[in-house]
Structure 1
C-alpha cells in the first residue's frame, strides 16, 4: 500500500490562560498538522508545535522539513515497509525533531488505521494513565491559589514550575504546601533555571523543610552534564533530565554515566514514537525509569505520546496536561480529573 501524499496545515490555538515557565510565557500555540494519504484513501494525522527555546524548531523550519526531505523520503514508499519508513524519516535530514515527530505520529496513525486497530494495541498494551497538573511560575500567592484549585479539580500530583527567580522558589513551595494536603505529591521543574551549587543548596533546604518533592526536573542548563551529575550526587531527591535529553545517544550517556536518576521523554525532542520507544528501552536496560512529557502541544500529538506511555512498561510517570490548557476541547483523548481515557478507534482516534 503506497503512501501517496503528504500535506501540511498551520493553525494557532489560544491558551485558556498564559503558560509561564523559567524560559518563556506562552499565550497560544502554533500547530503544524501533517496528513499522510495512502493510495486507498486512508489518511493518517500527526502534529508538531515549535518551541524555539527548547528544540530550536520554528514553524517555518518544520514546514520546510516536512514538505522537503521528509516528503521526498516517504511519498511513493510502501506503508507495509513500516520500519523502513520510520528509518527514512530519521535519516533524511539532520535535527528537525519536531517535524520528524509529526510525521512519525502520522505514519503510526495511518498504519494502525490500515490495520484497523488503536495505536495502543499496535504498541502492545493499554495501562491506566493519570496526569499531573502544571502550576506555572508566578507569585507565591498566585501559585498557591492555582495549586489549590488543581487539587479541588481532582489532581493528586502537581508539577510546579520554578527557576525563574531562585530566591523566590522556597517561598513558592511553602505557599503551595500551606494550602494543599501532604498527600498531594509535588514535582518541581526548574527548566534549567539554577546553577549547580545553587541547586544543591535549594534542594537540600527543601528536603530539610520536608516539602515531599517526588523529583526535580532539569535543575541546571541542558548542556551542563557535569553540573547535572554534581546535583544528582549531592541530594536525596531524584533528579530528572529533560532538556539534556533529545536522542538515544543522549539517553545512553545519561543512564550509563549515572548523570541522573530519571528521564523525561518528549516526542518533539526525540523525533517521535519510534525514538521514544528506543529511549525508554535503553533506560529500562539500565534501571532508570522514565516519564512521558509534552510541550505546549495540540491534543493529537499529546494523545500519541499517551498511547506510547500506555504501552511501554518503563514509562512510570505521566505529564500529559497540555490539552487542558488549550481553548478548544480535547477530542482524541478525554480527561476526568487526573485520569486519561484513550480513544479505542483505529490509530490515535482522529476521524476524517
Structure 2
C-alpha cells in the first residue's frame, strides 16, 4: 500500500455557543482536513485546526507547509514503513506541528488499515472506553453556573472550568459552581496561562482553604515560565498540569527532570501527532507521571485519533475530548461514539471514519 496523493479541504462547523478562554473567543470551528489516498484505494484522514494563539498555525501556514514541504517527502512511500515515514514527516519542516499532526493521524489510520485492526489496538489496546469532561467557557458567574448545571443534568460527571481573567471573579465563579453542582461532581480548572505566578499561588491556596476540591489546575502561568510553573507546583497541594508548556518530547523530559509539574496534557496538535505523543507517554510513564489527552477546537476526525491514543496507553488516566460536543452539527460519519460522558471506540478498522459531508477536496 503506497501513498498516491494527498488532498485537503476546509471544514467549517458552527459552535452551539461561543467558546471562550483566557486566550481567545471562537464562534465557529474552521479547520483544514487532509486525506491520503493510496494505490490500493484506501483513504486515511487527518485534521488540523488553526490555533494561532497556541501553536502559531493558521490555515494558510498549514496548507503551505504540507504543499511546499511535507507532501513531497511522503508521496510513493509504503504505508507499512511507519517509522521511516514519521522520521521523514518530522524532518520535512521545522515546527508546523498542526500540519504534521494532520498527516501523522492519516498515516496511522492507513497503517492500522494495513493490519486490519482498530488503531488503538495497534498502539497498545489498553481499553475501548473513555470518560471525558466537558468544558465550561469563561463568562459571567451566573452564566457559568447555568452552563455547569445544564451540563451535569446532561449526564457529565466532570467539568473543565475555564478561568484566568480575573482572580476575584474566578473565585466567585467557582464558589457558585461548586455550591450549585454539589460535591460529587469533579471540577478541573484551566487558566490557559492567565495568571502570574503570585496570582496562581494565591488563587489556588484560597480554593484549597474554601474546600472547592479542585481535581487539578491546568497551565496556571505563561508557557515559557518553567521556573514559575515549578514554583506554583511546589507551593500548593492541588495537582498542577502542564499544557502549553509541553509541545515536544524534549520539553516533556525537561519539565519532568525539573519536577515542574504533576501531570502533562498531551495534544496531538502540539506534539505534531501520535508518533511524538507516544514518546511523551513513555517519558511520563518512566517518570511516574500521569497524562491527560486533550484537544483544540477539533472535529470528530482529530478527536477520534486522540481517543485512539488515549485508549491505547495506561499512563493516560484522564481525557478532555469534548470538542465535537461543542459543535452545532456533525458532518462526519463513523469514528468515536459519545454516550453522555462516555466515549466508545468501535471495532472498526483504522480510525473507523466514513464519509465527510460538505468537503470540496483539492490536491495540494
TM-score (norm. length: structure 1): 0.98
Residue in 2 that maps onto 1:201: 202
Alignment check: 8 A CA contact 2:135 2:322 kept: yes
Partners of 2:216 and 2:49 in 1: CA distance: 26
Residue in 2 that maps onto 1:188: 189
SS in 1 for 2:135: strand
In the comparison of the two structures, how many residue pairs are matched? 352
Partners of 1:118 and 1:269 in 2: CA distance: 24
Residue in 1 that maps onto 2:362: none
Partners of 1:77 and 1:155 in 2: CA distance: 43
SS in 2 for 1:172: helix
Residue in 2 that maps onto 1:122: 122
Instruction: Give the superposition deviation at 1:343.
Output: 2.7
| 1:23 matched to 2:23 | yes
Partners of 1:72 and 1:238 in 2: CA distance: 44
Alignment check: 8 A CA contact 2:80 2:114 kept: no
Where do 1:331-350 residues align within 5 Å? 331=333, 332-350=335-353
Partners of 2:80 and 2:307 in 1: CA distance: 24
Where do 1:314-333 residues align within 5 Å? 314-329=315-330, 331=333, 332-333=335-336
Partners of 1:64 and 1:342 in 2: CA distance: 33
| Structure 1 unaligned regions, length at least 5 | none
Instruction: Give the superposition deviation at 1:114.
Output: 2.4
Residue in 2 that maps onto 1:154: 155
SS in 2 for 1:52: coil
Residues 166-188 of structure 1 show CA distances to partners (whole Å, capped at 9, x for unaligned) of: 22110000010111120111000
Residues 309-339 of structure 1 show CA distances to partners (whole Å, capped at 9, x for unaligned) of: 0001100111000000012236411111110
Residue in 2 that maps onto 1:67: 67
Instruction: Return structure 1 stretches of 4+ with deviation > 3 angstroms.
Output: none
Residue in 2 that maps onto 1:351: 354
Residue in 1 that maps onto 2:358: none
Instruction: Give the superposition deviation at 1:126.
Output: 4.5
Residue in 1 that maps onto 2:103: 103
Partners of 1:321 and 1:239 in 2: CA distance: 21
| 1:51 matched to 2:51 | yes
SS in 1 for 2:180: coil
Q: For the aligned residues, what is the CA RMSD?
A: 1.0
Alignment check: 8 A CA contact 2:240 2:263 kept: yes
Alignment check: 8 A CA contact 1:6 1:67 kept: no
| Structure 2 unaligned regions, length at least 5 | 356-364
Instruction: Give the superposition deviation at 1:82.
Output: 1.3
Residues 127-170 of structure 1 show CA distances to partners (whole Å, capped at 9, x for unaligned) of: 12010011100011111111111111111111000002222110
Which has the higher mean CA deviation after the structures are superposed, 311-320 or 117-126?
117-126
SS in 2 for 1:19: strand
Residue in 2 that maps onto 1:8: 8
